[in-house]
Amino acid sequence: MSEHFRENGSLALLTDLYQLTMAYGYWKTHRHDQQAVFHLFFRSNPFNGGYAIAAGLDPVLETLNDFRFTTEDIAYLDSLRGNDNQPLFLKPFLSYLSVLRLSCDIDAVPEGTVVFPQEPLLRVQGPILQCQILETLLLNGINFPTLIATRASRVCYAAMDDTVLEFGLRRAQGINGAMTASRAAYIGGCHATSNVLAGKCYDIPVKGTHAHSWVMSFEDERESFEAYASVMPNNCIFLVDTYDTLQGVRNAIEVALQLRKHGHEMIGVRLDSGDMVTLSKQVRAMFDEAGLPDAKIVASNDLDEHQIQLFKQQGAKIDIWGVGTRLVTGYEQPALGGVYKLSAICDSDGQWHNRVKLSEQPIKVSNPGIQQVRRFSIDNQAVADVIYDVRDLASTSPRRVPIGKDQVQEIHGDDFDGDWQCEDLLIPVISNGSRVGESPTIHQIRDRTACQLQMFSSDVRKLVDPAVYPTGLDVQLFETKRKLIATASPFHD
């Protein structure tokens, strides 16, 4: 999504064809300016976890700031043909697109916010044609970074107070995937990246060591460490498992003591294979015996949050975790599964009409209305989230919340104490097509993630079988949805 990957100044064609065919349909039926509201949300927490971290918003807003169909875009669309070999789009429609400028309003959850299923991360309101065209671009820009920021936060939770480095560039899905993942991983809590371009573009700290090839290019390991220390005396982390790990540590210690005589300190060693727990304990004992108590032990080798947690439970003496493939790819869950649904549409008389999508799967039944998310807290500890319709003015006061997995059947409710604090999560980011406010720095976003996570109990953040954080619909929206489901059903009499 970043400007570094644009070729012609716009990404208007970063969309699915059906968005444009629907847009064409709205235009031909003279409904293209009809006001509508869409919401972007996900249906279930990634990685079987208890939460997600919203990410990707700022690059999306950069893209929308330049949104337009260029001359080259229009020429390409003009070349498309239907199954009768006739133009797919009439030229007057293409002329309309050529001068189209966004006039939508977008409210969004700030990056670094802890979010939950069914809660809108973005609310898009404006001409239905514009809202429709933006669907794919928005989902593409929010889904993946939210997934990776969430994974990073889980990895950092498992590592506790240890340093976590993102090492995934070589395994990421292409340049865009790598850049997006590095940015999202830093937002999620990683301390640095090996991705130098991400360091330059996003102001992320960069860290790195050396590879086995450096060691193998010399006649022996000790010589390779000495050579590396001579050229990089202020960045010495030696990879010690090329031949024999413990002998590699002995060689690293000898070079470290030589470095010290010249006023430098070895940072530490990296373990990339073997029994990490046992080896780390042995290495720590060797460092302490050699008078190197501050030397760090870095671990890599296809790590994830579950392995890190297990290693720490087994008493591993690892200080820094390099996490790559299983972080930047999502690995066992490569997609968040975010969706974008129409929830309200305005008629020619200015009256809003709620919309709901039905499904035999309750989780796929969408929520209607013009939604907002309100988070309730006590002493800065989050206790429940409520989705409400901004047109229901009574919802500005604390309300009883139906809580249910499918948000259709009320299971139980909690009465809110009037002393609870509350905050609405969706804030204006685009007004009438123009950006509102200034972008936070990536460091501010990362700090927000850390502060947000402190609002939630460790039970919610658990890696396995986390507690379900209470979320649900405001009473009035709950009843609106229930009535819509009844009347929209094909079996309604």
**pLDDT, tens digit (0-9, with 9 covering 90-100), for 188-211:** 999 999 999 999 999 999 999 999
| Per-residue model confidence as pLDDT tens digits over 365-412 | 999 999 999 999 999 999 999 999 999 865 555 455 554 444 433 434
Say if residue 254 is in the same domain as residue 203: yes
Say if residue 243 is in the same domain as residue 366: no
Going by C-beta distance under 8 Å and a sequence separation of 6 or more, which residues neighbour residue 438? Answer: none
Mean pLDDT, range 341-366, rounded to an integer: 93
Say if residue 298 is in the same domain as residue 407: no
Say if residue 99 is in the same domain as residue 162: no
Say if residue 19 is in the same domain as residue 68: yes
Say if residue 243 is in the same domain as residue 260: yes
Domain count, the chain: 2
pLDDT of residue 71: 95
Q: Which of 85-89, 105-109, 369-373, 408-412 has the lowest mean pLDDT?
A: 408-412
Spatial distance between the Cα atoms of 266 and 269, rounded to a whole number of angstroms: 8
Say if residue 471 is in the same domain as residue 363: yes
Domain harbouring 101, CATH code: 3.20.140.10
Handedness of CA 143, 144, 146, 147 (dihedral sign): positive
**Structural domain boundaries, residue 295:** 150-328
Mean pLDDT, range 243-265, rounded to an integer: 97
| Domain stop point among 277, 308, 328 | 328
| Domain stop point among 279, 297, 328 | 328
Contact 482, 472 (CB under 8 A): no
* Lookup result for tokens 């890696």: 463
Listed in sequence order, the DSSP H helices in 218-292 are 221-231, 245-261, 276-289
| Domain stop point among 299, 328, 357 | 328
493 lies in some domain: no
- Taking residue 5's Cβ as centre, other Cβ atoms within 10 Å add up to 13
Say if residue 141 is in the same domain as residue 179: no
Spatial distance between the Cα atoms of 2 and 177, rounded to a whole number of angstroms: 11
Say if residue 261 is in the same domain as residue 355: no
Say if residue 461 is in the same domain as residue 369: yes
Mean pLDDT, range 213-223, rounded to an integer: 97
333 lies in some domain: no
pLDDT of residue 361: 87
| Per-residue model confidence as pLDDT tens digits over 279-319 | 999 999 999 999 999 999 999 999 999 999 999 999 999 99
The b/e string for 67-81 (b: 16+ C-beta within 10 A; e otherwise) is: bebeeebbeebeeee
Say if residue 312 is in the same domain as residue 352: no
Listed in sequence order, the DSSP H helices in 66-195 are 71-79, 91-98, 128-159, 174-188
133 lies in some domain: yes
